[in-house]
Every structure is written in structure tokens, then in C-alpha cells.
Amino acid sequence: MKLIQKKWVVLMLIAILLIGCQKQNNHEDSRSSEKTASPTKHTEHPNIYYEIFVRSFADSNGDRIGDLNGVISKLDYLKDLGVEGIWLTPIMTSPSYHGYDVIDYEKVNSDFGTFENVKKLVNEAHKRNIHVIIDLVLNHTSREHPWFQKALAGDPIYRNYYVWANQETNLGQLGDYGQQIWHGNDENIYEGVFSEAMPDLNYDNPEVRSEMIRVGKFWLEKAGVDGFRLDAAKFIYSSYQASNNHGKNADFWKEFHAEMKKVNQNVFLVGEIWASPGVIGPYLKGLNSGFNFELSEKIIKTVKFEQDAGIVNRLIGIREFYQNNNKSYIDSTFLSNHDTNRIMSEVNGDIDKAKMAASLLMTLPGTPFLYYGEEIGLEGIKPDEYIREPFIWDMNEDPSQTKWIDAKYNVNRADKSLSVQMKNNASLFYHYKNLIHARKDSKPLKQGDIEAVSYNQAGLIAFKRTTEKEEVLVIHNVSKKEITVKNVEKMNNIYYSSYENEDVKDTIVLPAYSTLILQK
């Protein structure tokens, strides 16, 4: 009895101490929240990100344009889906629908709400353990930006903020995509790699570099965002007035990252570096991550043609190369985004192939980024407006439904709407949701290394995901034919199966377009 009493006394003391600590923590949290939403509470890197094109996602005020409060209203949906981080496409003041031409880096586009709405969104997301990163467009401004207007008027200070042609400039030179890059006339011919409406900034000017570092700190300090998706990260220095500026770009991102860490030690920076791994690698010395465009292409090719495009072996090589540049790098993987045709359109509306693409993405290493609506099979083919069509929430009209553009590809509400798919366990939505949660609950799938496993059968992709203590074997049949797999390594149980399967045997029969994950 005395021993039991002593245990109760100890437990009561511990409880008192914990309550005291909790009160102290709550007091400290309330103090910090008065300054800004605290990103330091959420230090573990998200396993699944979700890209939101804000204008198309959810409307809160009836103007049919997606906004920040609309995103807040859908955070519980995203939490239930399994999302742990969201990426918002540009929310700053801009004259365009897409927002990649910024007029004011410290003001929120009035279509989307106010700066207070941003802070509320960050706070509400953090309550649900969801990180928030925002698009930061540093390569160029809008031609309507006051800096550029002053430059055109001859202001010598702001003239040096942009890149201008000189007597040696080849004005007929085309960009990486065959686009015209020099615009204007007479003494005002300027570089705009992406558009005449987007004049490029001059990063050889230290004032520009300082200004943009200040912008990054502003959003970390004042809004509490957890990091940035860095647009056009390989175009920071003009690549058309020098043969190769990748080294200078990478050095800038080192400087930028070091400055951002002064505000948030755990800041996450992911760069849009649409290039080969050989180009991307050195950027990872300054950035946490880069998007893996090559993997996206290989997954799409694999599911379209129903045979392995060399996914695993190529990915292993890329990972080894990246680790030589940054041992703690994060591989940001995806199927489609706001700049590419949607995955459902790439597979011509074939839901089985769309499911296989999702299965591959969710079982390979990296941090997957889902493009909004991917989980309900939204379609879209360029031009850009039509790969950014509104999310469909309900079979009937829904108050949060956006309608800033008339849909061209997503007109079948009965087929695409979330409300209908949530009633069907075989829907694409549930396929995504089940895979996301299976990934989140498995350390090997979430953070394990990858090892190739070859069964030398067309249509089959197999690999192991391993940590020091756990291991899973992943087998995909990406073809329309049933495949019999012999001499399967002995595992203890089935961790995940996209089809009905009760026994673990050394010979398994994989139905068409199916996935099996065995756990040791």
C-alpha cells in the first residue's frame, strides 16, 4: 500500500509540474502570437503538400473568385485528406489573374482579401499542423510596379533595378522556350524572359538583392509563413547577358537562405528549377529543395505507355548526386502543377492510369506536391487558364464554388465533384486519401531509402523502401494485363493493397493497374 501511495504522490507532482509548464507555454505562446503567427512551433517537415491556385479554389464572399477565407474554410477538408502543408500561388497585388507579375510585394491582392486574412490563414493552418508556404516571385516585377515606372521615366536609381539592352545585345535572341525576351523601343529596351509584362530585375545591383531579402523577411516576420516556393529560381541573374549564371544564382540563394534563417531557423525554400538534375544539384547548396520535373515526366510516360520508363534506377542516381550537394536536401515530387497539363488529361481521362500515377508518386521517396483538384481528376490542357480551372465542390451549386472562368474541360459535375466522389469508395478521391494516409503511417514510405527490385517482367515496377528498422516491398502493375509474380521475397503481412488480397505468398497475381505493398 505504501508503495502505491508513493507512486500516486509522484504522479501528482508530475501532473502539477506539467500543468505549470503548460501555463507558462501558453503564456509565452500568447505573447509571441501578438507579434506574429509563430512558424517555429511546426518544425517537422510536411510529408504531403497541396498546391492551391487561390483564385480557383474556394470563394467566401459570393463574388465567384477564390480567396484566402475560402482556403481557411477548406482547411478541415485538407486535414482529413492528409495534407500537411499548402503552397499558395501568388497572393500579392498584381494586375493579372495569375499574380506572377507583382506590383506591391507587401500588399495582398484585394481579390483574395487582406493581410489580416493571411495571418488568420497561417494561424488556422498551424492549429491543424499544416505548414503554409507562398509563391515568391523575385526574378521580375510587373511593368506596372512603381520601380519600373520610375525607371522608364529616367530615374537613375530605379533604372539600375532592371536589365536593359546595350549596343552588344542580340535583340533577336530567343529564350529557352523559343520566346522573345527583349521588349520595348529606343532607349527603353528591357529584358523580360517570361513576358513583356514582366521586366527582369538586375541582381548585379546590390540594392535589388537587399530589397528582395527584405521582402522575404517581411513575410516570415509579419505573416508567419513557413517558407517560399521560389519562382524561376534559375533566372535570378540574366542568363542572356552572360553564358552561364547558374553559379551566381546558387550563391544568391545561399545568401537569401542564410538571411531567412535569421527569422525562422526552419524556413523551407523550394526552388522552381526546370532543368536537368545536373543543373539543379548546385542550387541545393542554398535551397532546401527543388522540384523534380524529370521524375514527373517519367511517371507520366510510364503510365501512358504501361511500361517502366526507368523510374527507380534513374531516381537512385539523382538522389546520390543531390546528396553530394546537400545531405539534408528534400526532393519535391509531383505529377502536375499550374504550369503543366493536368495528369488526368495526360492519360486521356483514364481513371485507372490516373490512379497508377498517384500510386507511383505516393510510394516513391520525396515530398509529394498535389495540385489542387488532382484528387478528383480535374482535367486541363494549356493555354494556362485551362489548367487552372475551378475546383468542383458539389454536384449542385455550392456557395464556395468559384467561377472566375468558364470551364472548358471540367464541365461534368456528376463525374468530377468532390461530393459525389466522397460517396464512392472506388473513386479517385478515396484512392488518393487512402494512399496519403498509408504513406503517412509508414516510416519506410515516408522517409526510407529506395532500392531497386527486378522481376524482369514488362509492366511491373518493384522496389524496396527501407529505414534502419523497417522495410516494405512495393510492387506496381502499371499495365492493363494481369501479371503473375513468382519468387516474391517473404514478408510478414500486407501493408496496403489496391485490390482484395488476403494471403502473403511467394507467388502473387497482380490484377491490371494495381499496387501491393508488403511489410516485413
- Per annotation, catalytic residue among 59, 135, 226, 231: 231
Query: Do 431 and 358 form a contact (C-beta atoms < 8 A)?
Result: yes
What distance in Å separates the CA atoms of residue 472 and residue 493, rounded to the nearest whole number?
A: 10
Look up residue 455 and give its amino acid: Y
Of 272, 331, 379, 471, catalytic = 272
216: helix, strand or coil: helix
Q: What is the CA radius of gyration of the chain?
A: 25
Bridge partners (DSSP) listed for residue 291: 332
Work out whether the CA dihedral 97, 387, 114, 267 comes out positive or negative. Answer: negative
Q: Letter for the amino acid at 15?
A: A
Cβ atoms within 10 Å of 497's Cβ, excluding its own: 16
Catalytic (active site) residue 294 = no
Active site (annotated) includes residue 255: no
Nearest to 142 by CA among 104, 183, 191: 104
Contact of 138 with 236, CB cutoff 8 Å: yes
- Per the listing, cell 502473387 goes with 508
C-alpha cell at 31: 505573447
What sections of 36-159 are H helices per DSSP?
Answer: 54-57, 68-73, 75-81, 115-127, 146-152, 156-159
Q: What is the dihedral of CA 27, 28, 29, 31, to 10 degrees?
A: 90
For residues 309 and 301, the answer to whether their CB atoms sit within 8 Å is yes
Judge whether 407 and 389 are in contact, CB under 8 Å.
Answer: yes
Residue 89 is given by DSSP the state P
Residues across the chain: 520
CA dist., res. 232 & res. 101, Å (int)? 12
Which residues are known to be catalytic? Answer: 231, 272
